[in-house]
């Protein structure tokens, strides 16, 4: 079987990204347990732990860019840069398909964040910026992000004007289902509020926008350069000091609803994730030993195939959450999680393993790209139509295959772009072989 991944990998980075996506799936399982009160201290701690997945994943991704640039060092021409940034542009475009599933069109979402942050990390690494300048740029990004986040999300009569309140008027008789419907309806209202920001603001600093996330990617570049040196711990100490000062001097914001997921550029949020992320990455690097045990192997695979895991886990979460919210909401959620969380992690991992195996087995077939592009386009169009008609069920049913197709066609487009950039070298090698 062919593989879309290079064999020259830093497996610790795969391991860290795998840990991140496991924590992410754990957190999403908890969040979508509708009968878990989202306004309690208990939830605040659970939420803070689950969000550890973000800094680990993004810092590891920044470190991975350094490894990729190192492999390109033998070629000082413009070709590696063009091929890499072209692939990143392809990923950015594919991100809009994922927006359909998350109903976040008009906002930057996770694939956009990865594309933008990776591009910036690549540029400073390829140009061999000194470490101090990358630290300064990161600090500047975090600072600008925190300042811009001071503006409150607007809520006005303009937002409410075209909002459909009929779902409130026809509330189901079951109290729990009625509350769930209310939460979904209010979630729509809050998204409308966020979309009131100008486009440039939504690109720059709302949700998974350029900042603060580009700062985390750059910090990952710094961590890679400082790995296994005393300066790692200096960086931990600086991030701890920043966290303590921020915690003592600024209001601490713990999101208890959907607004919190849009306000990711607040100073207290950045300081907490920076400290916990840097500390976690340093500790994981000390703990990690290459594929020792089944869990380490599973984490490596999940990290290596993080895009596939990400899109697959949403389907598992959706089915799992729907079942538990309908049939199990009279049980204590801790008892439900004992089974639900491990099961969700296992199923997400097995689906990822299966899809990666299927991709590697079939990607050399002539019809591979055509098949997955067809799935992506057709399912995305049906999902958009379902969303426009308010049919959330069909939206989810068709947007999940489209999202999986994103992960499956990403290497096809990347290889196509590389083939265009290096076509003269490829043709010359073929002629030489003949």
Average confidence (pLDDT) over 162-187: 61
Model confidence band, residue 45 (pLDDT cutoffs 50, 70, 90): confident
- Residue 97: cis peptide before it, omega within 30 degrees of 0: no
Q: Over the stretch 396-411, which tens digit does the pLDDT of each residue have?
A: 899 999 999 999 999 9
Token couple for 263: 């306000």
The model's pTM is: 0.90
6 close to 294: Cβ distance less than 8 angstroms: no
The beta-carbon contacts of 154-159 under 8 Å, at least 24 apart in sequence, are 154/193, 154/196, 154/197, 155/193, 156/196, 158/196, 159/189, 159/192, 159/193, 159/196
Chain-centre distance for alpha carbon 129: 26
The predicted pLDDT at position 240 comes to 96
Range of lowest pLDDT (3-12, 154-163, 298-307, 319-328): 154-163
pLDDT at 2 over 60: no
The predicted pLDDT at position 168 comes to 53
Give which of 177, 290, 282, 298 is closest to 234, Cα–Cα. Answer: 282
The predicted pLDDT at position 228 comes to 86
Give which of 84, 79, 112, 82 is closest to 97, Cα–Cα. Answer: 112
Range of lowest pLDDT (191-195, 245-249, 397-401): 191-195
- In DSSP notation, 108-172 reads --HHHHHHHHHHHHHHHHHTT--HHHHHHHHHHHHHHHHHHTTSPPP--HHHHTT---HHHHT--
> Rounded to an integer, what distance in angstroms lies between the CA atom of residue 355 and that of residue 360?
9
Q: Over the stretch 287-335, which tens digit does the pLDDT of each residue have?
A: 876 657 888 889 999 999 999 999 999 999 999 998 998 899 889 999 9
Range of lowest pLDDT (142-156, 213-227, 246-260, 375-389): 246-260
Domain limits, the chain = 11-153+197-433
pLDDT at 278 over 80: yes
């Amino acid at each position: 079987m062919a593989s879309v991944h290079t064999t020259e990998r830093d497996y610790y980075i795969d391991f860290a990204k795998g840990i991140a996506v496991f924590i992410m799936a754990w957190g999403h399982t908890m969040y979508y347990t509708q009968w878990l009160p989202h306004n309690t201290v208990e939830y605040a701690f659970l939420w803070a732990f689950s969000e550890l997945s973000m800094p680990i994943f993004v810092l590891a991704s920044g470190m991975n860019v350094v490894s990729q640039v190192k492999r390109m060092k033998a070629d000082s021409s413009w070709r590696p840069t063009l091929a890499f940034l072209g692939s990143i542009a392809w990923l950015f475009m594919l991100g809009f398909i994922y927006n359909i599933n998350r109903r976040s069109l008009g906002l930057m979402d996770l694939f956009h964040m990865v594309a933008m942050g990776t591009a910036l990390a690549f540029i400073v690494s390829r140009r061999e910026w000194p470490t101090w300048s990358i630290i300064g740029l990161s600090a500047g990004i975090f600072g600008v992000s925190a300042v811009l986040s001071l503006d409150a999300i607007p809520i006005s009569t303009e937002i409410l004007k075209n909002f459909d309140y009929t779902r409130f008027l026809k509330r189901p008789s079951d109290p729990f289902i009625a509350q769930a419907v209310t939460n979904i309806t209010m979630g729509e209202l809050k998204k409308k509020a966020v979309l009131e920001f100008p486009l440039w603001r939504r690109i720059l600093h709302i949700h998974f926008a350029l900042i603060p996330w580009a700062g985390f990617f750059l910090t990952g570049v710094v961590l890679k350069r400082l790995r296994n040196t005393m300066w790692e711990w200096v960086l931990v100490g600086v991030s701890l000091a920043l966290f303590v000062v921020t915690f003592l001097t600024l209001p601490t914001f713990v999101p208890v609803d959907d607004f919190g997921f849009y306000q990711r550029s607040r100073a207290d949020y950045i300081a907490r994730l920076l400290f916990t992320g840097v500390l976690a990455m340093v500790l994981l690097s000390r703990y990690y030993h290459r594929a020792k045990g089944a869990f380490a192997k599973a984490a490596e695979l999940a990290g290596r195939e993080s895009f596939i895991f990400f899109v697959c886990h949403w389907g598992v979460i959706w089915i799992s959450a729907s079942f538990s919210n309908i049939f199990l909401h009279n049980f204590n959620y801790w008892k439900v999680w004992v089974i639900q969380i491990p099961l969700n992690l296992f199923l997400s991992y097995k689906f990822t393993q299966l899809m990666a195996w299927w991709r590697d087995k079939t990607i050399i077939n002539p019809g591979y790209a055509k098949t997955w592009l067809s799935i992506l386009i057709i399912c995305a169009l049906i999902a958009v139509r379902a969303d426009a008609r308010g049919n959330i069920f069909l939206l989810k049913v068709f947007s999940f295959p489209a999202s999986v197709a994103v992960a499956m066609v990403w290497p096809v487009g990347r290889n196509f772009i590389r083939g265009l950039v290096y076509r003269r070298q490829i043709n010359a090698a073929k002629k030489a072989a003949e």
